[in-house]
Amino acid sequence: MLPQAQFAAIALRDAGHTWIAGVKGEAAYEKWREENIHKEVASDSLCCQSIDTCTILPATDFHRRSREQRQVFGSSIRLDGMQSLKCIPLKAAVTLDGQSRPGQEQAIGTLVIGSKEKHLFPEDPEQLSGMIDILEILSNFGTIAIQNAQRFEKLERMATTDGLTGLHNHRRFKEMLDEEVKASLRYDRNLSMILSDIDFFKKVNDTYGHPMGDEVLRRVARVLSELARESDKVCRYGGEEFSVILPETDAKGAVLLAERFREKIMQQSFSIDGKEFGVTLSLGVCTMPEFARHRQELIDRSDQALYHAKRNGRNRTVHYSDIAKQEAQGE
């Protein structure tokens, strides 16, 4: 429709925040895309004004506007050189309790189309109106596609995420572990796994109630997530158990990280009705290929190490190699 267009972007809004979700354009804008993709858009920008008012902006020629009025994404996200530009809202029906409200629309984002040439959009009012009509129809199709993708993503996230802690659930844990085990065996790389358990968690529930127990679970999940490295996968294994998959991590590195987890949890304090209490973690660790030959053996031996930690006083980290040493010495 617009062969002269040199730049296009989609900004999406969710929970009051608007960010650049996609960029398409000439090669000259590739660096711009890398620098600005996923950045948040300023609330007073032309882009956000289009979303707020659910109207195409600007109504006048872009190149005739003052510099301040040409802040497409905000002063911190500069888009220099544009002479023609329109922000076309991505309109969707307003919903209440999952039901559409006829005749009411809101914008979930905006489509931004621009060019360094002044006459991307026709000067003739009739031609311009026809083009705008078609662009609005296309943006409506775009809105439907985006919403469908968002619904699919939400359903997928719900299927693989633990609702209480926000961590990967047990189903996703098994999928990710399968992937990492295959990579470990194929490329002869270390892979470690930590299996942890909150000590005396039943006592927490019995003494302080299940809502406080849930708060303990959420806090432990948050601490593990904050301390884990970017490549690590933190999961809720089940109940009060958590697992962490550690790609390309040897036994020493895994134990060091497990100890960081344990020590940080010991520092946490919980309060209810003026009473304060803390919790501790027991952790079992195993590493392949040195101490496990396949996925199930890695899980079983991490579990054995965890059981050993709990049986020998709790609030400690045990690597499966420690058990193997003891067994060898016993023999």
pLDDT tens digits, one per residue of 269-298? 999 998 999 999 999 999 999 999 999 999
pTM recorded for the entire structure = 0.60
As a whole number of angstroms, the distance between CA 74 and CA 52 comes to 15
Q: For Cα atoms 208, 200, 205, give the angle at the middle one, nearest 5 degrees.
A: 25
Question: Looking at residue 97, what is its pLDDT?
Answer: 55
Q: What is the distance between the alpha carbons of residues 90 and 149, in angstroms, rounded to a whole number?
A: 14
Of 251, 273, 262, 255, the C-alpha closest to 223 is 262
Per-residue pLDDT, averaged over 61-65, amounts to: 88
- Catalytic residue, chosen from 156, 240, 241, 263, is 240
DSSP 203: H
Cβ contact 313:283 at 8 Å: no
Q: Which two tokens stand for residue 42?
A: 């300023």
pLDDT at 106: 87
Q: Is 1 exposed, middle or buried (0-12, 13-18, 19+ CB in 10 A)?
A: exposed
CA angle 291, 293, 297 (to 5 degrees): 80
12-26, 102-116, 178-192: segment of lowest average pLDDT: 102-116
End-to-end CA distance of the chain: 80
Is position 240 annotated as part of the catalytic site? yes
